Amino acid sequence: MNWHSARPRRRRDAAARAERGLDFLNLFVANIQTGFGPFIAVYLTTQGWTQTAIGIALSLSTTTAMASQLPAGALVDAARRKSHVAGLAIASFAASALLFALWPVPAAIYSAEILHGFSSCMLGPAIAAMSLAIVGRTELGLRLGRNARYASLGNGVGAALMGACGYYLSGRSVFFLTAALTLPALLSLVPLSRLPAVAPPKPRAGNAPPKRERFWRVLADRRLVIFAACAMLFTLANAAMLPLAGIALTKRAGSQSSLLIAACIVLPQFVIAVISPSIGRLAEAQGRRAVLLLGFSMLPLRGVLFALVTDPALVVLVQALDGIAAACVGVAVPLITSDVAARSGHFNLSLGLVGFAIGLGDALSTTLGGWSADHFGDRTAFAALAALGLAAVLFVWGVMPETRPARAEA
């Protein structure tokens, strides 16, 4: 065989192995993250924790994640090997899970929540950076759709496995399983270990490669600031809808509420798995604003339907709209951030800014939704969230610029 033809083939084989490694990484990371979801509250309740203590523990993780978005993004930008950052984050997840399983006392649990909150902020940007390094900017939308598909499958499989462990074994076994799942996640990093930080930019003819920009200029970019505001508005309207729907289901469905709430979680994951690759193609073909408008338009529709629908089975079907919204936003967040900041050397820091805005909207949404429901009733709360969702759609329509690079620059 001619060695000149063998070299491109080896490069293609290495790229294919890296793509498969990233598929499995998204699958197993989603499995792991499932263990840090609703199972925490259930497990700590069986350990005799009060609702106040459980709330403090959960708030510690949320607060740490919000505070860590920008520092974690800067850390990922500075790291030469993004796979090493991902490996450190996954190992931290294992440590957090073992702390939950072995020492369910306040000091250990609070430490585990803080560790998990910071590690989560490193892992997301690292996966986005490795995706960019594998496919480059021109095919990033397609790769992000594929990431979302495998992550949604991982969420569904993880929920089923951990639910079975919790039911047939014990609440503690969920966290031993979570720790065990970090091993295949770490193995999936092997073909990713030689990736560069980002796909190398193509300098224009006659010009030197672009220099690393000052970080404050990137964070002050009008497109990034507007998009962060869009992301915050989206989460402000979205985050409280499922918890409020869960409360309404509990009132109406009684003993069947647990199954219905589980269906509300699993059905959107199925929708994400099915449509995410198509959303990635839509972002490349029609632009980022089209994806945002499609995803954001689900919010006012879902809020109005939640306010009107009383049949528990129909509530579950309405929640499927969240899968469309989540697929669109899951693809758009790293893709638009890449459009703005990939060439600046501060892609992950910029991703941290958007993540902070999302976290802020999340925190405010649950407070606003709960207060509205307590004082004015569920229907008014859903109507208020629908109005916020409509405002988010109008904001994207009227203010958000298109960030898709021109084909000549791709």
Query: What would the pLDDT profile of 63-103 be if each residue is shown by its tens digit?
Result: 888 788 778 877 887 787 888 889 999 999 999 999 998 98
Angstrom CA distances, 247 to 38, 43, 258, 260, 373, stand at 15, 20, 11, 11, 10
Q: What is the mean pLDDT of residues 171-190?
A: 90
Are 280 and 331 contacting, i.e. CB atoms less than 8 angstroms apart?
yes
Cβ proximity of 73 and 354 under 8 Å: no
- Residue 279 in this model has a pLDDT that exceeds 70: yes
Of the ranges 4-18, 83-97, 190-204, which is most confident? 83-97
Q: Does domain 9-196 have CATH number 1.20.1250.20?
A: yes
The secondary structure of residue 206, as a DSSP letter, is T
Report pLDDT for 390. Answer: 95
Q: Per the structure block, which two tokens stand in for 58?
A: 């959960």
Query: For residue range 104-117, what is the model confidence (pLDDT) as tens digits?
Result: 888 899 999 899 88
Q: What is the mean pLDDT of residues 326-333?
A: 90
Of the CATH numbers 1.20.1250.20, 3.40.50.150, 3.50.40.10, 3.20.20.100, which one belongs to the domain with range 215-403? 1.20.1250.20
Q: Is residue 290 scored above 90 in pLDDT?
A: yes
- Whether 215-403 and 9-196 are alike in CATH topology: the answer is yes
Least confident of 149-163, 179-193, 288-302, 379-393: 149-163
Report the candidate in 323, 230, 202 with the shortest Cα–Cα distance to residue 270: 323
More confident residue, 254 or 300: 300
**Inter-residue contact 233 to 395 (CB < 8 Å):** yes
Domain boundaries along the sequence of the chain:
9-196, 215-403
Candidate ranges 15-29, 64-78, 166-180, 381-395; pick with highest mean pLDDT: 381-395
pLDDT at residue 198 in the model: 44
**How high is the pLDDT of residue 258?**
60
Residue 216 confidence (pLDDT) above 70: no
Average pLDDT of the chain is 81
Least confident of 169-178, 257-266, 272-281: 257-266
pLDDT at 199 over 60: no
DSSP per-residue string spanning 375-407: HH-HHHHHHHHHHHHHHHHHHHHHTPPP-PPPT
Q: What is the pLDDT of residues 34-58, one digit of tens each?
A: 777 667 777 887 788 876 777 778 7
Question: Which class for 63: exposed (0-12), middle (13-18), buried (19 or more C-beta within 10 A)?
Answer: middle
Q: Which of 87-101, 212-226, 264-278 has the highest mean pLDDT?
A: 87-101
* Three-point CA angle 292, 158, 103, nearest 5°: 115
Residue pLDDT, tens place only, 223-247: 888 999 999 999 999 988 887 887 7
Mean pLDDT, range 372-383, rounded to an integer: 86
Q: Is the pLDDT of residue 359 over 90?
A: no
